[in-house]
């Protein structure tokens, strides 16, 4: 089995223009976004290993918050997840795969999680 390194930023609360119904369009919807990135790990991580041997967690947070373009309406949350994946692939060539889970909070009636998970692997 090969070594692996997975970084995660979980349960970010983000307001995004998304949806297909008239009551959804024009107003940002609250989403809960979890982003997971699989990286090629370093050979070893010692106490003095610098951050450059891994990836800054804030890059994952940025991709799911500030990298979302203002004023763009994502009809499907799948398109938003795809945008987050592409942002992370462009940031760092060591990113092997990205998984984005998005929960649409506004449509929950009894605390259930309603949403989707998209996993993309780096294409050659």
Contact 59, 92 (CB under 8 A): yes
Q: Please give the CATH number for the structural domain made up of 5-121.
A: 3.30.1130.10
**16 - beta bridge partners?**
29
Q: Please tell me the distance from the alpha carbon of residue 40 to that of residue 116, in angstroms, as a whole number.
A: 26
Single pTM value for the model: 0.93
Residue ranges per domain, the chain?
A: 5-121
pLDDT-based confidence at residue 124 (cuts at 50, 70, 90): confident
Taking all residues of the chain, what is their mean pLDDT, rounded to a whole number?
94
Contact 18, 7 (CB under 8 A): no
Question: Strand order in 115-121's β-sheet?
Answer: 5-16, 29-39, 95-104, 115-121
């Amino acid at each position: 089995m090969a070594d692996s390194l997975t970084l995660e930023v979980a349960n970010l609360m983000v307001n995004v223009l998304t949806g297909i119904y008239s009551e959804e369009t024009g107003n940002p919807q609250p989403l809960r976004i979890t982003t997971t990135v699989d990286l090629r790990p370093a050979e070893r991580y010692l106490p003095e290993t610098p951050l450059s041997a891994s990836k800054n967690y804030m890059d994952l947070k940025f991709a799911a918050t500030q990298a979302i373009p203002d004023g763009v309406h994502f009809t499907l949350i799948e398109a938003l997840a795809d945008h987050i994946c592409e942002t992370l692939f462009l940031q760092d060539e060591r990113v092997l795969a990205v998984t984005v889970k998005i929960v649409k909070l506004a449509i929950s009636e009894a605390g259930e999680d309603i949403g989707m998970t998209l996993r993309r692997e780096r294409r050659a």
